[in-house]
Amino acid sequence: MLPHSAVARIIVSSGILGSIIIGSGFFASVGGGMQEHSVGASSPSSVVPRQGVPSGIAKLPPQGWPDTASAASLYPGGVWLNPETIPVTEVGKLRTAGNAADADALSQISSQPIATWLGDWWGSDLLKRKLAANTAAAELARTTPVYVIYAIPDRDCGGYSAGGYNDEDYLTFNRTVADSLRGHPAVMLIEPDSIAMLGTERCGSIVDRRLGLLSTVVQYYSQAGIPVYLDGGNSKWVDPQTMADRLTKAGVQYARGFFTNVSNFRLTADEKQYAEKLSRLLGGKHYVIDVSRNGAGWKGTWCNPTGAALGQNPMVSRTGGSMDALLWVKTPGVSDGTCNGGPAAGKWFPTYALDLVRARP
d(C-alpha 353, C-alpha 333), whole Å? 4
CB atoms within 10 A of CB 48: 9
Catalytic residue status for 336 = yes
Check 154, 231, 324, 336 and give the catalytic one. Answer: 336
What letter does residue 238 receive in the DSSP assignment? S
Which CA distances in Å does 16 have to 130, 150, 340? 7, 20, 33
Query: What residue ranges in 22-137 does DSSP mark as E strands?
Result: 29-30, 116-119
Phi, psi of 244 (to 5 degrees): -60, -40
Check 154, 193, 324, 355 and give the catalytic one. Answer: 193
Catalytic residue status for 179 = no
Nearest to 224 by CA among 57, 32, 13, 356: 57
Q: Which residues contact 60 (CB under 8 A, 6 or more apart)?
A: none
- On whether the CB atoms of residues 217 and 226 are closer than 8 A, the answer is no
d(C-alpha 178, C-alpha 172), whole Å? 10
CB atoms within 10 A of CB 110: 22
Check 120, 154, 156, 324 and give the catalytic one. Answer: 156
Show which residues are catalytic.
156, 193, 336
